[in-house]
Amino acid sequence: MKISENQPGVTLKKFARGLMTTTCLTAAATAMQASTINETSVAGADFGNTFAVRNDLGAGVTEVIGAINPTSDVDWFRIDGLTAGSTFTINGVFTGGARYGIFDNANVNLVPLATNPGTMTGTVPTDGILVVQVIQNEALATYDLTLGTTAGTPEPSTFGGMALALAGGLTLRRRYKK
């Protein structure tokens, strides 16, 4: 039996299809935002050297590559757009004697300094911003930091909408299959 526009349930089926498409597209768009930032690509080819003069790398950054010279000894940058309350992990690999620390946007240290190679794990603050400091001991050092986050449980409305779409589709299929 063919479904026509005036039969009951067609609106629900269209709604369910639209909801599932929107949910999948949103998830795909979020996953595609990952990027690598190289210090040589920022203005002046150098990250800020103090907390107050740090570079804002924006959202979606998953890797930061940089170098510290013996003159400045410090790089500061911030990554925003992270999911508040999610778990972050930053892995660092360095040459030279570099170390790094993770702060919130108010300059409060979230976890102790890590050394080479180092892994730092913590919880993303409520504003979704992490500030990273890379320091070293009077020698040229290069570093490659990778950021990973584990998102919290999706909102109940997302699960509810997907469940409604699936249930509606199955109900319609059974109804019109007879």
The answer to whether 70 and 142 have CB atoms below 8 angstroms apart is no
Q: Tell me the pairing of strands 130-135 and 74-79.
A: antiparallel
| pLDDT tens per residue, range 8-21 | 555 545 554 554 44
| pLDDT tens per residue, range 76-120 | 999 999 999 999 999 888 877 778 889 999 999 998 777 777 888
The pLDDT assigned to 116 comes to 72
CATH architecture of 33-150: Sandwich (2.60)
| pLDDT tens per residue, range 115-140 | 777 888 999 999 999 999 988 766 67
Break the chain into its structural domains and give their ranges: 33-150
| pLDDT tens per residue, range 33-42 | 568 999 988 8
